[in-house]
Structure formats: C-alpha cells, structure tokens
Amino acid sequence: MKILKRALATMLSLVMLLVFALPAFAEDTPTITISNDAAGHTYEAYQIFTGDFSDGVLSNVAWGSGVNNSDLLTALKKNTTVGSKFTLATTAADVAKAMNGIGKDSAEAKAIAQVVGQNLSGTKRISTEGTGVYKIEGLAAGYYLVKDQDASIKANQDDSYTGIILAVVGDTTVAPKGTT
C-alpha cells in the first residue's frame, strides 16, 4: 500500500509539473500576427537567425533554418548599399551585430531584406488564412523574414504583394505595406 501511495504521489507531482509548465512552453513558441484587411494573402516566415529570446533581446545568435547562410553572407558583403557593414562578418552573430542600429524603413534595411529574400531555403512556416488578421504560429525564437507567398495573389485581384518584413520574434504584430 505504501508503494502505491508513493507511486500515486509521484504521478500527481508529475501531472502538476506538466500543468504548470504548459504556459512556459507556450511562451517559447511566439506568434507573428499580420494585420491586413485584404483577403487572399498567404504569408511565409523564414527564420534568418535563431537564438535565445529574453527581455526583448536575441542572444546566442546562430543561423536560422530559413536561409542559405553562406550564400547570404557572401551576398550581403557584395551588396553596394550595405556591403561595407559586413566586411568582417563571418558568423550569424557578426551579421546580427552589424545590423544593429539600422532603421526599420531605411534604405539599408530594404537592401538587407532584398538580399535575404534572394537567399532563402525551402524551410518556412505558413500563415493561417484570414481576413484582417493572419497568424504564423509555433515559431522558435529568432529573427524572421515574412513575405507573401510567391504567386499567391491572383492577377484579377485588386491587391498587391506585401513588401518584405523583418521581425524579431517574441509575439509580434506587423502591418504590411504593399508593393507592386
């Protein structure tokens, strides 16, 4: 009887541990929410950097699964707008550090987004479909490039593709800007 009581107590402890751990797991899988009133979009999120996200900072930065890292690094170094920032970069952490301080709507940010967009791997997360709000859920902490899926906007649709968005993930909400 003592063994049965100990076993039940141990099982109850494990169940309680799992119940209290679930919210922690949920916080480790951030969501990107895209506010767009237009219907018919499908967004893709490509992880550029992975790392540990805490207090709004990504640390222990490494290459993410969504980019061809050696091709991306070479392309960044060759880019006429931002190449000088990446001359000494050899790792993902170096690239992330070189990007620090670049304004979100600056010519440099647009050039980096363009280069990243040309060096994506096939590994991506796809948004839920919606009108008004699209979600990309279950992400690992990191830095992501978010874009409309290629060929997802119909030719007769009165809409445009979303400009490329770069977002640091904890839970993030973005509003797209269209480009034709």
From 168, 174, 173, select the one nearest 61 (Cα to Cα). Answer: 168
Q: What pLDDT does residue 158 have?
A: 54
| Residue that is written with structure tokens 């796809």 in the block | 126
Tell me how far apart the alpha carbons of residues 142 and 164 are, in angstroms, rounded to a whole number. 16
Q: What pLDDT does residue 95 have?
A: 94
Q: What pLDDT does residue 11 have?
A: 36
Averaged pLDDT, groups of 10, the chain, 180 residues long: 38 30 46 78 88 83 93 96 95 93 86 91 81 83 82 58 63 66
Assess contact for 164 and 144: CB atoms under 8 A. no
Q: What pLDDT does residue 71 have?
A: 95
End-to-end CA distance of the chain: 73
Single pTM value for the model = 0.74
Tell me how far apart the alpha carbons of residues 53 and 66 are, in angstroms, rounded to a whole number. 18
From 164, 178, 177, select the one nearest 46 (Cα to Cα). Answer: 164
Integer-rounded Cα radius of gyration of the chain: 20
Sign of CA dihedral 164, 84, 104, 62: positive
Q: What pLDDT does residue 168 have?
A: 64
Assess contact for 41 and 162: CB atoms under 8 A. yes
Strand partners of residue 139: none
